[in-house]
Chains A and B, each alone.
Chain A
Amino acid sequence: MAQTFLDSNELVLNMGPQHPSTHGVLRVILKLDGERVNGTECVIGYLHRGVEKIAESRTYQMFAPYVDRMDYVAAVSNGLGYVLAVERLINAEAPPRAQVARVILTELNRIASHLLWLGTHALDVGAITPLFYTLREREEVLKIFENYCGARLTTHAFRIGGLQYELYDGFEAEVNAFCDWFIPKIDEYEELLTNNRIWKDRLVGVGILNAADCKRYGVTGPVLRAAGVKWDLRKAQPYSGYEQYDFEIPVGTNADTYDRYLVRMEEMRQSIRIVRQAVAAIPDGPIMAKVAKVLKPPVGEAYVSIEAPKGELGYFVVSDGTINPYRVRVRPPSLINLQALDQMVKGALVADVVAIIGTLDIVLGEIDR
């Protein structure tokens, strides 16, 4: 076929770093042929704060609040991963009461994270209304965090060995009330979106990443599950007592943006299920294990990972026997998942790039660290 002047001319377009739909400071260099995307290159690092370097000069406890600043919409999950990694190194385990409280707060945080994702993703795709609803519901989760530890976003909710604060009076009632109130809200979102023709037009068949490609790129979390892989670290390698709870792992079949939406919606329902079971069975007892005030883990290293809202969040901590960690490596799910962007957007339209970045659910604070 003869090439005209127009379709032989590749246009290079910078999307970001200041662009509302890149969810932070992500710069994507798009190579365009008309409206079609031929290739992309991600430029990251605008938010790099050297978190891993900071760890070298802090004690184990002092570093814990820093991890909240990575994935700042899921700070509780970040904190959980870190304290579990250090607990593994010092061979300590949080008491049962603390573990149940951790599960409740982490699952509430998963809901908060998914709500922010849903609102902004819908906004990117052109539906403004859901954002107001999801932020309203997320507010209730943040209020519970605020009541518990005084902070809403960067909570520093957990300590190495357990919890610092006892659950406040009326915690169970408040969480239960939230669960009862929230479940119909998910149905409301679904009413707005699931069978909405514009929503489906924008999402169905867009940004397909099949299971084999997910594994090749190391993509985890809802993106992997939407490709039909029933894999969730809470089930595969349970931590914090997740094996006690009865819940399902939702999976998709078409591995597209629409399935990833459905998977995350169902995950919120499952999180509520876990929270309800956990609240009903909070054991009595101490909230802190016997952990030395000055931590000096024996020389060695450990890798511990959890199922964060965005995928596998891992901490690789190396101890040299002193009070400071010799090295803390964070394996952020957003960074690894973003790497698959190029594969997902090839051949798509520019407008789809926005939908695909949204569906990956990235947080730049975590990518750049």
Chain B
Amino acid sequence: MAATAWEDELTSELAQRYGSRIERFATYLGQKFLVAEVGAVPEIVETLQLDWEFDYLVDITGVDYPARPKRFELFYILYSFARNERVRIKCSLAEGERPRSVCSIHATADWLEREVYDMFGIEFAEHPNLRRLLLPEDWQGFPLRRDANILAMDNRWVKENLGIESGQ
């Protein structure tokens, strides 16, 4: 089953407003999503919040594709209580690119962006407190990158902190 086009009032207004900065609108398995340029995402999130009542930021998460020139995909999942509808924003970014934080729009984004930074090493510009969330602050590397070697991370930690070979 392939993704099908998504067209309604919302998409036509967003398309008019953001032009080529939104690549496409589609639905897959009954779920609506749009693919946008990473720089346009905070504006789109804000427009959806102010004009379309998407007032609940459900989740922000990343996916890593090391072989691609733009290796990361970021997903923003938004929900509107008034419309009972969910929309997903998807964007791609290369290593070292810094997407702008949406903390000032949705307070939820604080920890969600910290977790994305923690796991993928994506740094969010203008985030008030961008530190690791789940892992210790002195942790090396970003485990949810596909090329992260968990075993090597563990062995190194054991060697440095316990002074023995981990034996794994």
Contacts and interface: CB of A to CB of B under 8 A. Distances in A.
Contact of B1 (A48, A298, A368): A298
A329 B58 contact: no
A79 B86 CA distance: 22
B111 A339 contact: yes
Nearest to B84: A236
Interface string A309-322: 00010101010000
Interface stretch (A150-158, A198-206, A211-219, A262-270): A211-219
Contact of A316 (B64, B77, B84): B77
Nearest to A231: B81
A184 interface: no
Contacts of A336: 108, 111-112
A88 B108 CA distance: 27
Contacts of A89: 29
A91 B1 contact: yes
A123 interface: no
B31 interface: yes
Nearest to A218: B108
A335 interface: yes
Interface stretch (A29-37, A133-141, A159-167, A299-307): A299-307
Nearest to A237: B84
A193 B132 CA distance: 41
A46 B163 CA distance: 22
Contacts of A218: 56-58, 106-108
Given A314-B59, A339-B108, A302 B135 contact: no
B31 A302 contact: yes
Nearest to B110: A339
Interface stretch (B6-14, B16-24, B35-43, B143-151): B143-151
A50 B150 CA distance: 10
B58 A326 contact: no
Contacts of B63: 301, 318, 326-327
Given A45-B134, A53-B143, A217-B108, A331 B59 contact: yes
A369 B118 CA distance: 14
Contact of B86 (A45, A48, A303): A303
B136 interface: yes
A192 B65 CA distance: 56
A303 B108 contact: no
A55 to B, nearest CB: 10
Interface string B107-120: 11011100000010
Interface string B26-51: 00110100000000000000000000
B84 to A, nearest CB: 5
B85 to A, nearest CB: 9
A112 to B, nearest CB: 26
Contacts of B81: 215, 229, 231
B28 A300 contact: yes
A142 interface: no
A149 interface: no
Nearest to B61: A329
A44 B143 CA distance: 17
B23 to A, nearest CB: 16
A50 B59 contact: no
A229 B150 CA distance: 43
B88 A303 contact: yes
A221 to B, nearest CB: 13
A298 B2 CA distance: 9
B31 A303 contact: yes
A218 B57 CA distance: 6
Q: Give the interface centre of B29, B75, B88 by most chain A CB atoms within 10 Å.
A: B29
Nearest to A52: B144
Leading 8 A-B pairs by shortest Cβ distance: A218-B108, A45-B134, A329-B61, A331-B59, A48-B134, A216-B107, A327-B63, A215-B55
Interface of B: 1, 3, 28-29, 31, 55-59, 61, 63-64, 75, 77, 81, 84, 86, 88, 106-108, 110-112, 119, 132-136, 143-144, 146, 150
Given A218-B57, A329-B61, 9 more contacts: A44-B134, A53-B143, A91-B1, A229-B81, A301-B63, A301-B75, A302-B31, A339-B108, A339-B110
